[in-house]
Amino acid sequence: MISPELDSGSLKAAPMRSLLFVPADRPDRFEKAVGSGADALILDFEDSVARSAKAKGRDAVTEWLGTRPGVTTFVRVNPLDSPFIADDIAAVVAARPNGVVLPKAKDAQDVRRLKALLEGADLPILPIACETPSAIFGLGTYEEVGSNLAGLTWGAEDLPAAMGANSAREPDGSYTDPYRIVRALVLFAAHAASVPAIETVFPAIQDLKGLASYVERARRDGFTAMMAIHPAQVKIINEGFSPTATEIEEARRIIDAFESNPDAGVLQVQGKMLDLPHLKLAKRILRLVHIETES
């Protein structure tokens, strides 16, 4: 797991594959969440906590974070325009988690607004982009505030609700066309901002086979991590976003080939024509292995 002493720079470099949501008003679940193996926890002040329990949740998080729990911990505050944000921010400033998750984020300006509210606390921000229709048109602005971000993610539940859609998913669990577009745009926006692209949750907590396929598609497409809503999902997510032994062996073979031929732009390795983008990917795989080993 990642040390809670990480600063904003090292947080981005850490192997953050899984981020597990935990309701802030359920401190009885905090230690179980730590034991799940999640790379990070998201203690939630927002959707999973009833209005009447929000104060209890803030107190529980502040007390628990005072013990330095041994895992990277984010706090998801309520939206910037909610009546709870002032109290949420006060709790975050007092508790000093490793980062803040911002729901209903519209654009880079919302990141700047949150940073100002944090009163100088240097906490990385993880926006949940595209939970409202207007937020889609602000995705290109996150590149302006990339140095303030811990990543970029999206939600597939609030957006269809805001639009009056019955669902964002087909019967087989795949996304309908409008939400496939949104997912892709968030993926591109994250990479344009040079921050981790974090896939949204998989709601069917008992469908572990479906989860594995979902994770496989996410990594294939360029996501580097995923949010979870149940401890049982963490192991599959971690495994899915970790390089396999075959990938590691192939990456080493590619790097060795280019090191043996430093002036080559294109090489043939085991019958495949490889160029510099393949070398870049190979180095990224081995860098991730190194970071995981050091963590």
Q: What is the pLDDT of residues 102-131, one digit of tens each?
A: 999 999 999 999 999 998 789 999 999 999
Question: What pLDDT, on a 0 to 100 scale, did the predictor assign at position 5?
Answer: 40
Residues paired with 41 in a beta bridge: 20, 73
Of 132-141, 173-182, 184-193, 246-255, which gets the smallest average pLDDT?
246-255
The pLDDT confidence band at residue 11, using thresholds 50, 70 and 90, is low
More confident residue, 78 or 264: 78
Provide mean pLDDT across the span 139-161: 96
What are the φ and ψ backbone dihedral angles of 44, each rounded to 5 degrees?
Answer: -100, 120
More confident residue, 100 or 270: 100
Sign of CA pseudo-dihedral 104, 107, 112, 115: positive
Question: What pLDDT, on a 0 to 100 scale, did the predictor assign at position 232?
Answer: 97
Residues 71-103: pLDDT tens digits? Answer: 999 999 999 999 999 999 999 999 999 999 999
Position 120, amino acid: G
Q: Which of 81, 184, 192 is nearest to 130 (CA)?
A: 184
Residues 54-67: pLDDT tens digits? Answer: 999 999 999 999 98
How many angstroms separate the CA atoms of 295 and 292, rounded? 5
Q: Which of 197, 190, 159, 156 is nearest to 175 (CA)?
A: 156
pLDDT averaged over every residue in the chain: 88
3-state per-residue secondary structure call for the chain = CCCCCCCHHHHHHCCCCEEEEEECCCHHHHHHHHHCCCCEEEEECCCCCCHHHHHHHHHHHHHHHCCCCCCEEEEECCCCCCCCHHHHHHHHHHHCCCEEEEEEECCHHHHHHHHHHCCCCCCCEEEEECCCHHHHHHHHHHHHHHHHECCEEECCCHHHHHHCCCCCECCCCCECHHHHHHHHHHHHHHHHCCCCEEECCCCCCCCHHHHHHHHHHHHHHCCCEEEECCHHHHHHHHHHCCCCHHHHHHHHHHHHHHHHCCCCCEEEECCEEEEHHHHHHHHHHHHHHHHHHHC
Provide the 10 A C-beta neighbour count for residue 136: 18
Q: Which residues contact 110 (CB under 8 A, 6 or more apart)?
A: 80, 102, 127
How many angstroms separate the CA atoms of 75 and 61, rounded? 8
The pLDDT confidence band at residue 289, using thresholds 50, 70 and 90, is low
Residues 151-162: pLDDT tens digits? Answer: 999 999 999 999
How many angstroms separate the CA atoms of 248 and 288, rounded? 10
